Amino acid sequence: MPDTLITNARLIDPEVGTETTGWLAVDGGTISATGTDAPPKADRVIDARGKCLAPGIVDIGVKICEPGERHKESFRSAGLAAAAGGVTTMVTRPDTLPAIDTPEVLEFVTRRAREAAPVRIKPMAALTKGRQGREMTELGFLLDAGAVAFTDGDTVTTDTKVLSRAMTYARSLGALVIAHPQDPGLSAGAAATSGKFAALKGLPSVTPMAERMALDRDMALVEMTGVRYHADQITTARALPALERAKANGLDVTAGVSIHHLTLNELDVSDYRTFFKVKPPLRSEDDRLALVDAVASGLIDVICSMHTPQDEESKRLPFEEAASGAVALETLLPAALRLVHAGQIALPVLWRALSLNPARRLGLDTGRLAPGAPADLVLFDADAPFVLDRFKLRSKSKNTPFDGARMQGKVIATFVAGAQVFGAD
């Protein structure tokens, strides 16, 4: 007999691509069965009352500010935020202080994660020592210590010799390299995307072409080295044909996009609102619409939160001086549902990008509703409306661009390996 049964649920299955009403049984931390017929008996029965049940979100690129800046975010606070946001696996970034670039620092992370966070944590490690772009890290040791991917975050490795060697070495280990495609020469000092808005506001800006240039370079290096490659964020329409070409040519390439670039545009910055300052900067509405299409078509594989906590001091500055980044673990799900409510994307397709694709790319067993898969689940009401109050967020930092926004979609419960880690009051 299964230990938990969730009945009367709208099952969102990204693998099969279906939305059906039925039940799901959990036994010993894994999904034991699903069905649409009469449900089996179980020790604990949860009536979903027709709400959505989907695999938990796998979020690539979460910044937890341990070690170094624990006042901005800790494993505990990020873990609680993730659980409340339906994120069951946080794939953490190595751009901490110091950078996660040795097996010893990585071990600290996994230990802290185990002690403090209610959700799964899969750490990424730096590709080069100190994220300096000069020498590769101990990729083999780091892989053995549990690193799921290698990235220097938003620091671009400009030395192509260093990068090509790191990629070649990573390829031999079968490791995934995640890069931030942005030409650093063009983007230096930029706080906005070039165009009428940046010109009107007098902000230093970067051409959207900087992203395509860097992606073109990286694609050449991928072709040369054969490495498994993931672009952390593709945010412009102009980069999409380059991505499409690379995939058509059979390169082992995937791409992500942050929820902010999918749901906001440059005009949201308005009168220099620094909570809307992200990296790369918000783009035009044409870009945003092209990105939504690319997610719907599967050209862009992954949606991530790009969760970047910043304290008030680093945001309450003139726009150019303010820090980049936004917290998003708790707003990822309702923000992504905007695309569903706008009729731009179906729920199972959205969940491919939120859950199935990132899990597959990292070689994780989650992201599915199939029997045998880990019971990492999120139960949510896709329609429930609310107005976001940033001071109610569980993250230590409250730098969300959605403060005061009307949103739809509330998490009712989150499960990790069958255990409930969040329940709405």
Partner 1 sequence: MTFRAKHLLGIEPLKPDDIREILDLADQYVDLNRGAVKHSDALAGLTQINMFFENSTRTQASFELAGKRLGADVMNMAMQASSIKKGETLIDTALTLNAMHPDLLVVRHPHSGAVDLLAQKVNCAVLNAGDGRHEHPTQALLDALTIRRAKGRLHRLSIAICGDIAHSRVARSNIILLGKMENRVRLVGPPTLVPGQFAEFGCEVYDDMAEGLKDVDVVMMLRLQRERMDGGFIPSEREYYHRYGLDAEKLAHAKPDAIVMHPGPMNRGVEIDGEIADDINRSVIQEQVEMGVAVRMAAMDLLARNLRERADGGVMV
Under the rule (CB under 8 A), what is the footprint of partner 1? 194-196, 198-203, 271-272, 313, 316-321
Q: How far is the CB of 382 from partner 1 (least distance, A)?
A: 36
Q: How far is the CB of 323 from partner 1 (least distance, A)?
A: 13
Q: How many other CB atoms sit within 10 Å of the CB of residue 369?
A: 25
d(CA 195, CA 401): 21
Question: Residue 284 or 331: which CB sits closer to partner 1?
Answer: 284
DSSP labels for 29-91? TEEEEEESSSPPP-SEEEE-TT-EEEEPEEEEEE---TTT-TTT--HHHHHHHHHHTTEEEEE
Contact between 362 and 236 (Cβ < 8 Å)? no
Q: How far is the CB of 196 from partner 1 (least distance, A)?
A: 4
Q: How far is the CB of 206 from partner 1 (least distance, A)?
A: 12
The greatest distance separating any two alpha carbons of the chain, rounded to the nearest whole angstrom, comes to 65
Question: Residue 274 or 400: which CB sits closer to partner 1?
Answer: 274
Question: Residue 10 or 277: which CB sits closer to partner 1?
Answer: 277
Question: Residue 115 or 271: which CB sits closer to partner 1?
Answer: 271
Kindly tell me the sign of the dihedral angle through the C-alpha atoms of 297, 280, 400, 359: positive
Q: How far is the CB of 320 from partner 1 (least distance, A)?
A: 5
Question: Residue 155 or 194: which CB sits closer to partner 1?
Answer: 194
Question: Residue 319 or 351: which CB sits closer to partner 1?
Answer: 319
Q: How far is the CB of 404 from partner 1 (least distance, A)?
A: 16
d(CA 292, CA 300): 9
Question: Residue 196 or 245: which CB sits closer to partner 1?
Answer: 196
Q: How far is the CB of 239 from partner 1 (least distance, A)?
A: 20
Q: Which of 30, 81, 79, 88 is nearest to 59 (CA)?
A: 88
Those residues whose C-beta lies under 8 Å from the C-beta of residue 269, and which sit 6 or more positions away, are: 192, 197, 201, 276, 277, 282, 319
> What SS3 class is residue 392?
helix
Q: How many other CB atoms sit within 10 Å of the CB of residue 196?
A: 10
Apex 398 CA angle, 118 and 411, nearest 5: 45
Distances in Å between the Cα of 418 and the Cα atoms of 27, 97, 253 are: 7, 34, 32
Side-chain half-sphere CA neighbours of 20 within 13 A: 14
Q: How far is the CB of 39 from partner 1 (least distance, A)?
A: 56
Question: Residue 37 or 312: which CB sits closer to partner 1?
Answer: 312
Give, as one character, the DSSP assignment of residue 249.
Answer: T
d(CA 376, CA 86): 9
Q: How far is the CB of 203 from partner 1 (least distance, A)?
A: 6
d(CA 303, CA 344): 15
Question: Residue 111 or 196: which CB sits closer to partner 1?
Answer: 196
Q: How far is the CB of 325 from partner 1 (least distance, A)?
A: 18
Question: Residue 52 or 198: which CB sits closer to partner 1?
Answer: 198
